[in-house]
Structure 1
Amino acid sequence: MNAKRLPHGGEIDRTRPISFTFDGKTVSGFEGDSLASALLASGITILGRSFKYRRPRGLFGFGVEEPNVYVDIEHQGSFLLNQRATTTLARNGMAARAVNASPTAAADRMGFIDRFARFIPSAFYYKTFMWPNWHLFEPRIREMAGLGRVNPDHQGPVSVQVNHVCDTVIVGAGPAGLAAALMLAEAGEKVLVADDGVRPGGSLLHRDAKIDGMAGLDWLSRTLALLADLGVRVLPLTTAFGLYDHGLIALNQRHRDGRADTLWRLRPKRIVLAAGAIERPMPFAMNDLPGILSAQAGLAYLRRHAILPGERIVVASNNSTGVEVARAMAEAGANVTLVGETGETSTDIRHIRGRITAARGRSAVQSVILDNGETIATDCVLVSGGFSPTIHLYAQARGKLRFEEATAALVPDAEIPGVTVVGGAVGHFTLAEAFAALPQALAVDAAPPVAAPQSYTITPAWPDPNMKGRVWIDYQHDVTTKDVALAVRENFVSVEHLKRYTTLGMATDQGKTSNLNGLALMGALTGRTIPEVGTTTYRPPFTPVPYSSFAGLRGGQRMEPLRRLALEPEHRALGATLGEYGGWLRPVRYGSDHSAILAEAQTARRSVGLFDATPLGKIDVIGPDAAEFLDFIYYNSIPSMKPGTCRYGFILNESGIVYDDGVLVRLTEDHFIVSCSSSHVASVHAMLEEWRQDRFAKRKIFIHNSTAESATVTVTGPLARRVIEDAGIDVSLDDTVFPHMTTVWGRFGQARLRATRVSFTGDRSYELSIRQDLVGPLWKALEESVHRAGGVPIGIEAVMMLRAEKGFIVIGKDTDGMTRPMNLGISGPLHKKKAEFVGKRSLLTEEAQRADRMQLVGLVPADGKGLLPTGAHGIDVSSGAIRSIGYVTSSYPGVAVDHPIALGLIERGAARIGDEIDIQHLGERRKARITLPCAFDPKGERLYA
């Protein structure tokens, strides 16, 4: 391949040269080059290796359609993984390395794999590596799979997320998109245009055009000026990668200066898809050799980067666009042969009607063989097999496609509310046709631009099942015609099965260059038409999006500020060691010595303890329909609750998995307080709102998260009642008036407070909730009273010890993503509750009702070796092999009992009380005895002591 930079022309800035390295070799370019254009101009032929066979590959495309050349990049301390060379701007000092190649693309030591291609067709690994054991081969196969290598030590820049409001989002800043933007903006709409190119213009930047009597580039300049005057925002380097529910369109914007990408979220009234079309490859043997490019890509490199891709160029086209490409190459000084059923050309271009049947060459194309037997020496082949509309976003919005014979393309079949498709994306492959359709498509009364008359004709050139040699259908995944034929022989004739069996059109490619040729070949092999074969499902993202864009500013104090307790100064004054729990800075213990935790817990058991429970959720649910609503939300029955009472209950997700637990307080007939786990307040609030809007949209329900408005202080222990009385709190503590699991109102001085008698420790306990700004004096009075009673303030770790000893769980610690209420010994509501509730149907499935499910149990060391390790697995060795039967979820020293205690989820645990089981952790074996979860006061007498 003898590509070269021309002395004049292009969009590059020749006054600003740059240099970077590729696979360790220095490459020169200019400001305005992409990595691909600079590499092409440098004369480097092999720029990548194919995914499966490690075949040498060069450039094929110009933009997001590029299937071959991906690089990992290091630049100014940043690391970018799996970047398409065609969409990555070249920057001075950049170090790029080809992915899937070792040590370099040109000298890949795994290149020999291609010699064994006949033994490794599609799905070979399913058949080859099952014997003697898949796990013997798995590590090496996984090491070779995938593209690029993650640098786990890299700390990338922080991305920004933007929520933008406008009337219309237009995807694509080509001529159709810009014309649509102008017509809508002049009609008074607020418009945003997104385009993944470096600059707006689309095909006008490299193809000949005449619009409104002026050259295409002149019309482009005038239109952009008019759009700027109308306030239209045009975002270059911005890819619309997904259309989601409720009209959400997501954009990812890259930046020239190397800043982290920006994620845009918009829900406009209308989305106009003007993303153009992607040129298809031509099927012939060895059509993946370096030096074989898309014809439009070759034209773009010529006119935008002043690069002539070869000296002896063959343009192979089955449609009328090949003539323009051939003329442009000839005018730039190349010796050009045009092969195909196309229109007339100039006299300095040799025109042969026919098709290429094979290419020849080792590391690059050196010649092509035609169907008439003629061999033509060449160093560059530009192919055009027709155009496929870029309908990925339309398909993501559940749009259906139809095959149009006249253009040999899949086009949108019907309108989708809120989505309009125009230009090449709808199959209008001439400007005149695209412009003429705009007024009706956009429903605006405005005259569209007028383009010079053009015609587009095509003679289908689909893959032939009888083609000889290796004909590539999908460059990115190394899928050939023989792979598709194998899928058919093995009865994978559904288009979705074909996709998964061969990997055709998967991953980042999403069928951009491969899909239609694959569908046509499947049809030919099975005697079906392309419409009968059907299409695969296009999935977002359209092109890869950095994880940092999705994450945005989610971490750190700016976006996740540590929540602070109103009593933090008081805790610090008492010598508290503070730590983060569920996003709150809370007292771990009082004192620096870790042994203080057990001492605090023992004091609380013996006399009384005082702890700050402010982070517990306090979500008000109010209204005449609140009881019915919460009965749907909770696993437990709610309407039978009387005002002034409390009930412990579970909230499940739709899969029947325990999502949260806590106490529900009913203040009045139509006023409840959901006291959820402190770390789940935001998510439980969001869940309540989601169900209120979805299922109870027209009901009288009001939800308010008042967690931040009040502070809660808990007094627990045998002397808790005496402490409350001694602290001067005006509340009736008589057990007949204020029994366990009830709530009453009282006063502290002039302040009103709510006292709730619930316990997370197993001892008599009182939760006192008061306004945040009034909690200081209340804490001081209680602390002094606790001190007089011989008690102490206790931190969260002591509370964890006390609750585990009582057998109380912590969601996410003593449960996992498979834990259902029955696993925790609570199955009554499933059988007794008649009302529908979230997750009910999932609890009735065969999986949920399995007799061998994990069940919550207590565990006591049976070997005298002390604490059981948290996370240790219970194991069954009866079959000779080690099998996990569950694991330890919590483990602590005993507080009121004389032995360590633990909780765990163990297979069939409830039926195995008293049994000894083996426990294994980090290679060490232990013995444990299964007990009931409650190790302390199983009759609950201490709640009333």
Structure 2
Amino acid sequence: MKPLERVTPFGRKDACDAAQIPFTFDGKRYTGRAGDTLAAALLANGVDIVGRSFKLHRPRGVFAAGIDECNALVQLEAGGFDEPNARATLIALYPELRARGQNAWPNARFDLFNVLDRFQRWLPASFYYKSMIWPNWHFYERFVRPIAGLGRAPEADDAQRYQRRNAHCDVLVCGAGPAGLAAALAAARAGLSVIVADQARTFGGALNDTRELLDGAPAMRWVESATATLRAMPLVRLLSDTTVSGYYENNFLVAAERVANAQGPAAGTGSLRERLWRIRAREVVVATGALERPLVFADNDRPGVMLAGAVRSYLNRFGVVAGQRIVVAANHDDAYRTAFDYHAAGLREIVMVDTRANVPARLRVALSEHGIALHAGYGIQRVRGKRRVRAVEIARHTGGGRLEGVTVTLACDLVAMSSGWTPTIHLFSQAGGSLRYDDTQFCLVPDRCAQAVQVAGAANGVFSLAACLREGDAAGREAARRLGADVDADATAAAMAARLPHAEEEPATLGIEPFWFTRTARTDKQWLDFQYDVKVSDVALAMRENFQSVEHVKRYTTGGMSVDQGKSSNFNILAVMAELSGRPIVDVGTTRFRPPYAPVTLGTFAGPTVGERYAPWRTLPAHAWHVAQRASFDDYGWRRPGCYPFDGEDIAAATTREVLAVRYGVGLFDGSPLGKIDVRGPDAAAFLNRVYVNNLASLKPGFARYAMLTNENGVLIDDGVVARVSETHFIVHATSGAVDRVFVLLDEYLQCEWPDLRVFVNNVTTQWANVTVSGPRARALVSSIESDIDWNPDVFGHMQFRQGTFAGAPARVLRASFTGEVTYEISVPARYAASLWETVQRAGAPLGATPYGIEALEVMRTEKGYLHIGADTDGVSNPHDIGWEKIIAKKEGDFIGRRSLQRPADRDSRRLAFVGIEALDPRERLPVGGHFIEAGPLMLPTRSQGYVTAACLSPMLGKSIGLGILSNGAARVGETVQIYAKGKVCAARIVPPAHFDPHGERLHA
């Protein structure tokens, strides 16, 4: 269509003088006006086709004017500013904006994939479940993948940044239309702190789109005055361009504010794009308005078929005439405003088509006065035109959606349709509110909610301006009253009249006569979800195949699952289901309204926690020392050395060298990340005895004991060494990856289960630095350093604990081992880390002390058969699976998970038990993750009997060994098994877990 002349927007004479803004769409240059949205500018330039539908690639034009737009989805900008699926109706026009239509090749106007439309009869709802079976899905995948999806995910890094803000207020008002502004004014005048959030750049809501008068002047003047009044109040915060997208428990709401929405790349790299608001409100007023519903008739998806309210919005807000010859089709009173507004703007080719035979007399008179033709009792049978509407065929409506008799053709280039309004109850529903069906307005409206929330205005099913103002004012005063403000003096009619502007009283209802779809037209040509190509015939097919639940129909047809999340289609789908099944709409139910209400960029949720801030490296206290030793670091939750390779040495060679150094001499390891939880109090022993599997109450001061932790289901969740410092003081060691979780668990037990126990727990992991000295010469090394600790093995034996000084620093020393050698875990306050490591390194130099990393530690613990929770266990492993039956039997009293361990399933001999493994071929490395399978010829598929959890080529044993969990493993020691991985099978023998020094002579030396 050719570019259209603009008219002067209602009440905005200065808009005609707005600056011209150049922009590009699909590679072609256009100009718009400052203040336009991209959708308004495209309409003004006569751009009919802005995109293509998802499945059939049918042409799509601008359909709505706000957040309910389902057609005009564009790929905005490129590079670091690239944004897919952006609604053209929400994009403020800015200089040199670049956008392109989506889901089309080579462009939206000429799309080669439009050929799919010719095959639509073979592409009904969920056709892929029934047709893409033989030979297999992967055959079809290569054809489907290239044409699937809408926009393209950005490939470049995001060039902008995001923020998060927290806020508290007395009253949060969601929506700044007439009801929202009235509520905010009432609450603010009562002295309350108020936040007002609205998704539009300009407050006023629907008043931006109409020619309504308040106090005899354009309604937007009152909006400007009310906004200025609120802005001047110190306790009021106004958030425009802000969508409240989620309502959670205890009046906690989340909103996304678009900060640089009207700047694009001109904002610059590193500019603030969006801000996430997390708001806790004592009271909430939801005044989010209503969404218009489309009529359903044949080919109602053609470009040029728009919502009546949207046509009115583009005319009155932007001065954009969406068409020269307009047919307004509706089944209620409100749509007549569009015809009257177009006539007031100077257009004369206007026809009104109303499915109701009994049109109110006041509307008939008004149409006659304006010279507008009326076809009462008629409906649109079908649309003519392919790339844009050229005409409509109408016929007499005989009731129940049936159009019969002689058809009349009306030439037009614009159809403004409306079948009513649906209150925007998403936030209310997210808050846990229940809905009821209003059989006078034919929509779902809020009913009850346990949270402190009120709904006002069109969101509450009230559609007259005067009533919206009254409801908003009442909601604001009620919020103030609930919070203790004295507002009774303002409740009189005279006080209300003084507060609120005068608006013309209108009928309480819109006079809707339901018309859910055209029964006499082809159902496979009547669109419900315009973006996903869901038609009446698809819903009928789903119900024919016995999908009766609305949730099932939604997923089977994909109706309401496109970018707009059903804002324009959901209610019509419910109504069509009701019509086809003969049920009332209230019995059909609704889909669940889940947050977010509107798409929120992932960057907004991430906020500043991106890049290095997303997961900051946790470095060791002696990190600089390890760097100087040329450590090869890896991420183990902490930035830890994997090994310390020499020049020309690979990881495997370095690991073997470090293992041999520990086994034959002495090695140095940084165990600082090992969890350390301080447990103190008179009841500390009793508390830990209730939590841990084995008996800790009998542990004597100065001694330590290996302990296991299970959850209430008896599943192993952590292990570690518990040292008793004194009668009332324990140090609980947890694995480095689980210490935070274990600390929270212990704290929760104390606060929620046993608040009577006199115990304090504190996570002190980061307060202590560690050097672990391990190997046959470990005692010689630590004895050479100044200390008041007696290292004599007869005095300081295995699994004992000492406190004292070491190298001039206060120290805690635990003699416990994960290598199988004599080991001293020496911990000092973190500030001594660097000096401790330098001292130990100097003292160990004559003894050949070698630093070793995680890789060598893994090899040594595999040789010794030490359990690693999480690696050698799965999500159901319990203490019985690792041979702790006798330890549990000896313990008197209860512990967390003990009852669960009595269940037959937890004692079943077929459970996966912890075992050792030896490869029959000593040179063949066992595959970690490989599955134990039945012996004999390989027959796939086959049942897994367990899997390998750890494996290595043992430097000390000269063979391939491993650990694993195997069904009935304890009884299968000595058995030869097969291990399958990646199409290969290797043979192995089941052995006890301890491959090296099984009796612990080296450990106790």
Q: Which amino acid in 2 is paired with 1:539?
A: R
CA distance in 2, matches of 1:126, 1:845: 41
* TM-score of the pair, normalised by structure 1: 0.90
Distance 1:755 1:395, change over 3 A: same
- The residue aligned with 1:298 is 311
* Stretch deviating more after TM superposition (540-549 or 463-472): 463-472
Does structure 1 residue 397 correspond to structure 2 residue 431?
yes
Distance 1:263 1:303, change over 3 A: same
- The residue aligned with 2:940 is 881
- The residue aligned with 1:773 is 831
- The residue aligned with 2:506 is 454
Q: Which amino acid in 1 is paired with 2:351?
A: T
Confirm or deny: 8 A CA contact 1:13 1:31 kept in the other structure.
no
- The residue aligned with 2:254 is 250
CA shift for structure 1 position 65? 0.7
Aligned residue among 572, 586, 596 for 1:531: 586
Confirm or deny: 8 A CA contact 1:484 1:502 kept in the other structure.
yes
Q: Describe how 1:487-502 pairs up with structure 2 within 5 A.
A: 487-502=542-557
* Stretch deviating more after TM superposition (430-439 or 271-280): 430-439
Q: Deviations over 1:501-552 (max 9, x none)?
A: 2222235433312122222222222222111111111111111222222222
Local SS of the residue matching 1:410: strand
- The residue aligned with 1:6 is 6
- The residue aligned with 1:915 is 976
CA distance in 2, matches of 1:635, 1:271: 49
- The residue aligned with 2:805 is 747
Aligned residue among 275, 279, 287 for 1:262: 275
CA shift for structure 1 position 281? 0.8
Local SS of the residue matching 2:427: helix
CA shift for structure 1 position 435? 2.5
Does structure 1 residue 418 correspond to structure 2 residue 470?
no
Local SS of the residue matching 1:535: coil
Does structure 1 residue 358 correspond to structure 2 residue 382?
yes
Q: Which amino acid in 2 is paired with 1:881?
A: L
Distance 1:879 1:76, change over 3 A: closer
Confirm or deny: 8 A CA contact 1:6 1:307 kept in the other structure.
yes
Distance 1:163 1:808, change over 3 A: farther
Aligned residue among 370, 388, 402 for 2:394: 370
CA distance in 2, matches of 1:240, 1:636: 51
Local SS of the residue matching 2:954: coil
Q: Which amino acid in 2 is paired with 1:478?
A: D
Does structure 1 residue 289 correspond to structure 2 residue 302?
yes
Mark the runs of 5 or more structure 2 residues left unpaired by the alignment: 265-271, 397-406, 481-486, 491-495
Does structure 1 residue 515 correspond to structure 2 residue 570?
yes
CA shift for structure 1 position 720? 2.7
Confirm or deny: 8 A CA contact 1:762 1:940 kept in the other structure.
yes
Distance 1:878 1:103, change over 3 A: farther
Q: Deviations over 1:891-916 (max 9, x none)?
A: 44323221244445667766665434
- The residue aligned with 1:108 is 111
- The residue aligned with 2:957 is 897
Aligned residue among 322, 331, 339 for 2:353: 339
CA shift for structure 1 position 276? 1.0
CA distance in 2, matches of 1:122, 1:843: 50
When the two chains are superposed, the root-mean-square deviation of aligned CA atoms in Å is 3.6
Distance 1:277 1:902, change over 3 A: same
Local SS of the residue matching 2:571: helix
* Stretch deviating more after TM superposition (160-169 or 663-672): 663-672
Distance 1:776 1:652, change over 3 A: same
Q: Report the count of equivalent residues.
A: 942
* Stretch deviating more after TM superposition (311-320 or 856-865): 856-865
CA distance in 1, matches of 2:687, 2:282: 33
- The residue aligned with 1:825 is 882
Q: Describe how 1:6-405 pairs up with structure 2 within 5 A.
A: 6=6, 8-9=8-9, 16-75=19-78, 77-211=80-214, 214-231=217-234, 232-254=236-258, 255-256=260-261, 257-258=263-264, 259-334=272-347, 335-340=349-354, 341=356, 343=360, 344=363, 345-346=366-367, 347-354=370-377, 355-372=379-396, 373-405=407-439
Confirm or deny: 8 A CA contact 1:3 1:307 kept in the other structure.
no
* Stretch deviating more after TM superposition (94-103 or 657-666): 657-666
Distance 1:100 1:927, change over 3 A: farther
Distance 1:209 1:572, change over 3 A: same
* Stretch deviating more after TM superposition (226-235 or 276-285): 226-235
CA shift for structure 1 position 789? 3.8
CA shift for structure 1 position 849? 8.8
Confirm or deny: 8 A CA contact 2:922 2:958 kept in the other structure.
no
Confirm or deny: 8 A CA contact 1:875 1:920 kept in the other structure.
no
CA distance in 2, matches of 1:46, 1:827: 71
Q: Deviations over 1:190-238 (max 9, x none)?
A: 2222221122221121123334565311111111111111132222222
Confirm or deny: 8 A CA contact 1:273 1:421 kept in the other structure.
yes
Larger Rg: 2
Local SS of the residue matching 2:678: strand
- The residue aligned with 1:706 is 764
Distance 1:98 1:613, change over 3 A: same
Aligned residue among 511, 514, 535 for 1:480: 535
Aligned residue among 779, 788, 792 for 1:721: 779
Distance 1:177 1:840, change over 3 A: farther
CA distance in 1, matches of 2:346, 2:901: 70
Q: Describe how 1:554-703 pairs up with structure 2 within 5 A.
A: 554-558=609-613, 560-584=615-639, 586=641, 588-589=643-644, 591-592=646-647, 593-594=649-650, 595-623=653-681, 644-649=702-707, 660-668=718-726, 671-686=729-744, 688=746, 702-703=760-761
CA distance in 1, matches of 2:528, 2:417: 14
CA shift for structure 1 position 308? 0.4
Confirm or deny: 8 A CA contact 2:714 2:896 kept in the other structure.
no
CA shift for structure 1 position 14? 5.6
Q: Which amino acid in 1 is paired with 2:500?
A: P
Confirm or deny: 8 A CA contact 1:386 1:458 kept in the other structure.
no
CA shift for structure 1 position 422? 1.9
Confirm or deny: 8 A CA contact 2:175 2:288 kept in the other structure.
yes
* TM-score of the pair, normalised by structure 2: 0.85
CA distance in 1, matches of 2:37, 2:139: 42
Local SS of the residue matching 2:816: coil
Q: Which amino acid in 1 is paired with 2:976?
A: D
Q: Deviations over 1:738-774 (max 9, x none)?
A: 5433433233366432222222222232222221223
- The residue aligned with 1:731 is 789
Confirm or deny: 8 A CA contact 1:823 1:853 kept in the other structure.
no
CA shift for structure 1 position 869? 5.8
Confirm or deny: 8 A CA contact 2:171 2:282 kept in the other structure.
yes
CA distance in 2, matches of 1:621, 1:165: 37
Distance 1:665 1:840, change over 3 A: farther
Confirm or deny: 8 A CA contact 1:634 1:838 kept in the other structure.
no
Mark the runs of 5 or more structure 1 residues left unpaired by the alignment: none
Distance 1:664 1:330, change over 3 A: farther
Confirm or deny: 8 A CA contact 1:830 1:840 kept in the other structure.
no
CA distance in 1, matches of 2:66, 2:323: 20
CA distance in 1, matches of 2:691, 2:388: 65
